[in-house]
Each structure stands twice: as C-alpha cells, then as structure tokens.
C-alpha cells in the first residue's frame, strides 16, 4: 500500500508531507483492515493496537521543493526543505513501513 499524505495540526497548517509504503502482509488483523479503511493515521492505529517494532531512520536530507510539495505546504516558490527516510521494523528485522517525511519551512518567531 502506497500513500502520499500531508498532516495538519489544529490550525490547519501542514506539519509534514510524506510518502509511505506500508507492507500490509506484515500486519496482523485488525491493524491491516483499519489501515485499509484509511480513516486513521497508521501511528494512531499502532497506539491502539500495539505491535512490537523499532524505528530506523536511514538518512536525513535536504530537498528543493517541487510543485507538488509547494501546493501541499501552500508555498508559491521552491524552497530548500529538510526530511528523512525512516523504516519501522519488526523485531526479526522485516520491514513494516518505509516512509519519506519532509518538513515545511519554519519561520523565525
């Protein structure tokens, strides 16, 4: 299962843009069916239905935003943004999830 998502916080400002690959066959029921229902983020599902796993950030990067990322973040021009490639692994090392996450530009307060 592949998805592209933008996560928003309470003020509707995007806090993350990402692409995720979910290895559905690695998940037991009901996690698999809840994931396929697309009604709740995977992180919330895993909080409700704990599954032993570990997080393995593979690398961090800087990327020049394109039209898709600009639209997701409400930006009118390309900017250098930061992100990471992360994996969630079962205790035996099998991958559950591979995700690329890109953060929006932050402005000084």
Residue 49 lies in a domain: yes
Q: What percent of the chain has pLDDT over 70?
A: 88
User: Tokens representing 80?
Assistant: 């250098």
**Confidence band for 4, pLDDT divided at 50, 70 and 90:** low
104 within domain boundaries: no
Number of Cβ within a 10 Å radius of residue 109: 3
* CATH at 34: 3.40.1410.10
pLDDT digits (tens, 9 = 90+) for 20-39: 999 999 999 999 999 999 88
pLDDT at 11: 72
Is residue 101 in some structural domain?
no
Q: How far is CA 8 from the centre of its chain?
A: 12
Query: Is residue 17 in a domain?
Result: yes
> Is a pLDDT exceeding 80 seen at residue 12?
no
- Count of the separate structural domains present in the chain: 1
Domain carrying residue 80: 2-96
In a domain, 106, yes or no: no
Burial 11-35 (b: 16+ CB within 10 A, else e): eeebebbbebebeeebbeeebbebb
């Amino acid at each position: 299962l592949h998805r592209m998502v933008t996560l928003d916080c309470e003020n509707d400002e995007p806090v993350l843009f990402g692409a995720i690959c979910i290895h559905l066959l690695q998940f037991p029921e009901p996690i698999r069916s809840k994931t396929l229902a697309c009604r709740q983020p995977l992180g919330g599902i895993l909080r409700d239905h704990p599954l032993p796993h570990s997080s393995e950030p593979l690398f961090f990067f800087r990327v020049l935003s394109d039209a898709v990322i600009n639209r997701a973040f409400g930006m009118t021009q390309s900017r250098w943004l930061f992100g990471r490639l992360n994996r969630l692994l079962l205790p035996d090392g099998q991958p559950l999830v591979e995700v690329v996450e890109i953060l929006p530009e932050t402005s000084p307060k």
